[in-house]
Amino acid sequence: MIPDPDKENHMTLTDLAATSTAASAPAHPLASLTATEIEAVRAVVLSLPSTTEQTRFAYVGLDEPAKGDILAWEQGAPAPARVARVQLLDMLSARSSDLRVSLATGEVLSETVLDGTAGQLPVLDAEFEAVGDIANADEAWIAALAARGLATSDVVLVPLSAGHYGYAQEDGRRILRAFAFQQFSPSDHPWAHPVDGLTAYIDVADRRIIEIVDTPGFDIPQTSGNFDDPAVQGPPLEGLKPIEITQPEGSSFTVEDEHVVWGDWDLRIGFDTREGLIMRQLSFKGRPVMYRGSISEMVVPYGDPAPNRFWQNYFDTGEYLFGRYTNELELGCDCVGDITYLDVTLADELGLPRTVRNGVCMHEEDFGSLWKHTDIFTGSAEVRRQRRLVISFFTTVGNYDYGFFWYLYLDGTIECEAKLTGILFTSAYPGEGYPFASEVAPGLGAPYHQHLFSARLDMTVDGIANVVNEIDAVRVPISAENPAGNAFTKQVTPITSELVSGRVADGARNRVWQIASTEKTTAMGQPTSYVLFPTETPVLLADDDSSIAARATFATKNLFVTKYDPAERYAAGDFVNQHPGGAGIPEFIAGDEPLVGEDLVLWHTFGLTHFPRNEDWPVMPMDYAKFTLKPYNFFERNPTLNVPPSTAAHCAPKAVSGGYGPAGHDHSGHDHAGPDHSGHDHAGHDHHGHHHG
């Protein structure tokens, strides 16, 4: 059986229900699993005849009720049942199972045993940790290192997900591929010293290397990557004065049991081992906007076709479950200002609850001018300041650190921003002019790669009857109607069914996607809507016939739209690890459901393409990728007219002269603590302030 540090965990849920701790369920059916519920799930698993001492918990999370059941509950129907989804791996036999467990009765509602042909369970930390012992006991691996003048004690191994390349010897097996990096001392960052040309393919259940790819001829780079060494950092930068960010009266938001209220916003948040932070049931001024938003998947495909590297591509959500690597955040380092932290409760691989202290950060940020006008006729001079609510977390997946920030603005705008930092995944640089990597230090390469995130946006714009329209800016040729040739207009194309929903952003056309109600209108008859503004960066650059394109079809377009289905939660499917391809989006759109006046889910790919530069070494400055959702005719007028003016002392008017306008009026109205001639607001328009980084 599983090692059991607490014999009470052998109790059934029926037994636990008799105790005061297990009897109390969360007040909301979408609440994240509690420690008590995780312990109860573990008790059920311990009682199963298939459970052994080698059984590990790959995933434990809430199996969310269908949207219709939640909406019915809000109208007075009984609360949907609390159900946990549990994925179990036997480390010795590789038996993999996917269970649904009732949190009320302890009944196993369903169990699916995976055969490995349609993907594997996510990679476990226990498997990562086993790779060193497996490789270091292999004579061929020891000999390959010795041929490079190295012993096993000189290197650390970096195990990575294997992908799927049709290798018969890997069918049905749990495979990891491992690189070696030389480490000169326990404090030496080994990323500076890749032992290139050497890769081990490892069956982690059989605990053996099944293949070694040995391509000699690469020197091990000797540069330093020790960015935390004062000798590398150099003398501290002088002249930086302290910045203090204070809210003397405290924050303007409230949060209780994952329920958040701020200004006109009302929402719930949640946290999941796989998806990380989840934004739920967002409404503005009492009107629904988005039912659920999350990062459902991400992929990091590398572009180096070398024999040892062609397979590098990582699904940090589906293969690694990036939520489990959530950082514990520190005030003054990761977050600055009046901060509210929320702890995160997850299950470890033994099924025990563990707490990530300060896993989620919430705070307000000043964001410069909200609206402003100085009128040349009336003399009116009004300005209001924008602010935003920031809800975020950071996770470290191997060499990269990712922050995911959701921003809510006073005017109803929603943004999601990914922040990327950490250390480049390195290689030896083959030589001048190599077309698939940058040389970032002497002899040290950094392969070209992409970071592509799939945001699952379950929209409810004024209800569940929506349509998505693609809106392009179009030229109008010179004609009798347009004799001067100055005209341009917009082209609106409804996305009518799932199979035609794959769309690519186009900056030349100012392309956006409007999520419009098919039932609600403004007083002027316009459909109420929100608009998704993408950023125009490349989608997946791998060939359409490549393995990664088949496995990450979501990343081949910036947008797919599907009719809501509670079973369709992850853009690359449920079991991404070693999946041959075709899961997720291809399956979701195969039925070609109609999409006009329906309950819709948008799958939006955003990200960046990285050609590394010298400045990215030895640790990367923060990079950013984001998208924006803005109200478009959702309101009858500017919804922020009621935002009060600032009253702080630094807003006192200054005497200025000059200005333009009718004689007899001083229309300068310039707040010289604010915009300058470039249009930038230097009085706190901090695009990246207070962030965890």
316 is annotated as an active-site residue: yes
Q: Provide the 3-class DSSP secondary structure of residue 96.
A: strand
Q: From residue 191, how far is each of 48, 435, 441, 445, 609 by CA, in Å?
A: 43, 21, 12, 11, 21
400 is annotated as an active-site residue: yes
Angular region, 149: left φ>0, alpha ψ -120 to 50, beta rest: left
Per the listing, tokens 């369903």 go with 110
Cross-strand pairs, 604: 455, 559
Provide φ and ψ at 349, rounded to 5°: -75, -10
Structure tokens given for 533:
């503004």
Q: How many CA within 13 A on the CB side of residue 453?
A: 25
CA dihedral 260, 263, 264, 267 (to 10 degrees): -10
Structure tokens given for 436:
């698939």
Q: Are 80 and 69 in contact (CB under 8 A)?
A: yes
Structure tokens given for 561:
């739209």
Q: Are 48 and 93 in contact (CB under 8 A)?
A: no
Distance CA 676, CA 693 (A): 28
Q: Are 154 and 180 in contact (CB under 8 A)?
A: no
Q: Are 218 and 434 in contact (CB under 8 A)?
A: no
Catalytic residue among 400, 448, 530, 564: 400
Cβ contacts of 296 within 8 Å, gap of 6 or more: 275, 317, 454, 455, 456, 569, 570, 571, 603
- Inter-axis angle of helices 139-146 and 125-136, to 10 degrees? 70
Q: How many of the other CB atoms lie within 10 Å of CB of 147? A: 11
Cross-strand pairs, 47: none
Strand pairing class (559-563; 381-397):
unpaired
Strand pairing class (208-214; 265-272):
unpaired
Provide the sign of the torsion angle of the four alpha carbons 216, 221, 222, 225, taken in this order: negative
Distance CA 218, CA 221 (A): 9
Catalytic residue among 316, 338, 366, 401: 316
Structure tokens given for 350:
């033994």
Amino acid at 85: R
Strand pairing class (414-422; 400-409):
antiparallel
Per the listing, tokens 């947008």 go with 559
Angular region, 377: left φ>0, alpha ψ -120 to 50, beta rest: alpha
Q: Nearest 5°: CA angle at 451, between 449 and 455?
A: 160
Q: Are 323 and 570 in contact (CB under 8 A)?
A: no
Residue-wise over 471-481: b if at least 16 C-beta within 10 A, else e?
Answer: beeeeeeeeee
What value does the CA radius of gyration of the chain take, rounded to a whole number of Å? 27
Q: Provide the 3-class DSSP secondary structure of residue 401.
A: strand
Provide φ and ψ at 430, rounded to 5°: -65, -30
Distance CA 316, CA 607 (A): 14
Q: From residue 157, how far is each of 180, 517, 568 by CA, in Å?
A: 5, 53, 36
Structure tokens given for 74:
């809000």
Q: Are 251 and 272 in contact (CB under 8 A)?
A: no
Structure tokens given for 369:
């001018």
Q: Which residues carry out catalysis?
A: 316, 400
